[in-house]
Amino acid sequence: MNPPSASRIKVRPSSEREGRKDYISIRDYGFWYGQKKALDAISLDIPERQVVAFIGPSGCGKSTLLRNLNRMNDLVDDVRHEGDITIGGRSIYDAGLEVISLRRRVGMVFQKSNPFPKSIFENVVYALRVVGVRDRAVLDEACETSLRKAALWDEVKDRLDDSALGLSGGQMQRLCIARAIANRP
């Protein structure tokens, strides 16, 4: 028996889940790469401050859906969508929405870790530096807090100036999680 594709998953509407505020809401969402339909009529509510996992076979649309949450697929030629995605009650397709601001709020860590060829510290604080944070105390605190949340601090606290590329695969993955957390998505 084949598992259901991600594009066929339906989740109970928020009205059926007592007391939860939905932060991300996806309604009748379809997505195409050229003529190929990658997502078909997805409706999904994700409550605020909840961990959600998308599980399914290769090619079923998990990554495509995630890339749509922060509009990374806008960078791909010949794509289109229908339906809507709201985050915090606002459509990600609102004309006045800055896509860069959206991408700061929607952190993503992919299956294959991709640390920058920089130190562990610089990997974690990279996004903060990009937006102009220069205060060393702020950067230090963000680095430690993020690495602790990603369960990596105790393993790297004495080698923050070492290259991130020298970490194990699992450590690299947690480093990328810490980097996403540091940006406070």
Residue 128 and residue 180: Cα distance in Å, rounded? 10
Classify domain 6-105 at the CATH class level.
alpha beta
Give which of 102, 97, 116 is closest to 178, Cα–Cα: 116
pLDDT digits (tens, 9 = 90+) for 50-89: 777 788 888 888 888 988 888 888 878 888 999 999 988 8
Residue numbers in the chain where pLDDT is lower than 70: 1-22, 107-110, 185
Report pLDDT for 110. Answer: 67
Domain extent listing, the chain = 6-105, 120-182
Gap between the Cα atoms of 23 and 14, Å rounded: 10
- Kindly report the backbone phi and psi dihedral angles of residue 2, in degrees, each rounded to the nearest multiple of 5, phi listed first: -85, 140
Nearest to 83 by CA among 24, 43, 117, 45: 43
What integer pLDDT is reported at residue 8 of this predicted model? 46
Burial class (CB in 10 A: 0-12, 13-18, 19+), 29: buried
